[in-house]
Amino acid sequence: MAAESAKSSGPLADLRVVEMGQLLAGPFCGQLLGDLGAEVIKLESPGTGDPMRQWGREQSQGKSLWWPVVARNKKSVTCNLREAAGQRLARRLIERADIVIENFRPGTMERWGLGFDQLRADHPELIMTRVTGYGQTGPYAPRAGYGSIGEAMGGIRYVTGDPDHAPARTGISLGDSLAAVFATIGTLAAVHHRANTGRGQMVDSAIYEAVLAMMESLLPEWAITGYQRERTGSVLPNVAPSNVYPTAGGEMILVAANQDTVFARLAEAMGRPELAGDARYSTHIARGARMAELDELIGAWTATIETDRLLDRLHAAGVPAGRIFTARDMFADPHFAAREAIVRLAHPEFGELPMHNVFPKLSETPGAVRHPGPELGEHNQEVYGGLLGLAPDDLEQLAADGII
């Protein structure tokens, strides 16, 4: 459907998405679809817009540096969904869309007359992607659900951090982002199904379940053996050597040499080839049992060598090792540059604005960051006037009534 007005390229350029909701979980799904070419029309409250326009720890000129990223490749239109006229306007847009994304509390869209069953009655091909804390069903569905709560319920908070401290946050909005990624996967699966059947469907992505999906064998470990995974800090229990080690420059690097053959290469690089044949360290199980003493031995060696020289030696020996990157490291790294992992866009307030590029890379139909996040209501005329054909007088009246 998006081919009528879309000017983008990419594998999803034939899809039109109406993004409703705010903050991160739903909008990040919209960002991912937009990165791959979909036309994403974001509905925002008149006057205020998505709170993400103000969020983020660091700001420039009083404006969020997060908004240009999460809203990139999107069109912004204002629409007061709490008024009947705004609900009617949204429905008109949805009638011209392939996908609706929303992350309101369950029942909200239904109260507005925009629930899945209500919309699909007139639009059986519609795909509705719903991202919430607990999902659309179950006893917890009506609860307010933020990403942090989903991370706790899904299990990742309990196992994150140092064993001597309270469960830690990862430093990013992991639960929201995972729910958005799984929502995107589900949306694309629904698009494929629709291509074969002509029928749309609802995609139900819950934050806690998205986190749970990443928890490896945590559940059978408890059910079958009674083993409860605990916080282990920087190490992986019984897997050694795989840790953070100091260098002569006061920096830290990661070294992962837990496989027998790789440990032998590490021992050679250390000038201690005999370690690979030492019964205390020669097998995976033996090294795991002596993790602490092995880490101390390796750390004493790494601490005598400057970081770059140490990494050169380890890489030459075929030992997986690397810096713990900060943003500064990413901008200076030649691999980031060669892979174009960072893209720079012109921004009206910030000048040159860098951000991470589209991922994954597709050889035939690559996605692209076409523009940073838009101004509030920037595309009202294009979408309402062009796509829906509303006259200028109608737009003026909607604005005067507080609908757009």
- Confirm whether 176 is a catalytic residue: yes
User: Which of 167, 186, 150 has the alpha carbon at shortest distance from 233?
Assistant: 167
Rounded to an integer, what is the distance from CA 278 to the centroid of its chain? Answer: 44
Rounded to an integer, what is the distance from CA 295 to the centroid of its chain? Answer: 33
Partnered with residue 63 across adjacent β-strands are 60
Query: Tokens 């690397």 appear where?
Result: 322
Residue 365 CA: distances (Å) to CA of 8, 9, 34, 324, 336: 11, 8, 13, 32, 21
CB 18, CB 101: distance < 8 Å: yes
Beta 99-102 vs 39-44: how paired, if at all? unpaired
Q: Phi first, then psi: give them for residue 76, nearest 5 degrees.
A: -105, 125
CB 76, CB 376: distance < 8 Å: yes
Catalytic residue among 176, 295, 312, 393: 176
Q: What is the H or E stretch that residue 346 is in?
A: strand 342-347
Catalytic residues: 176
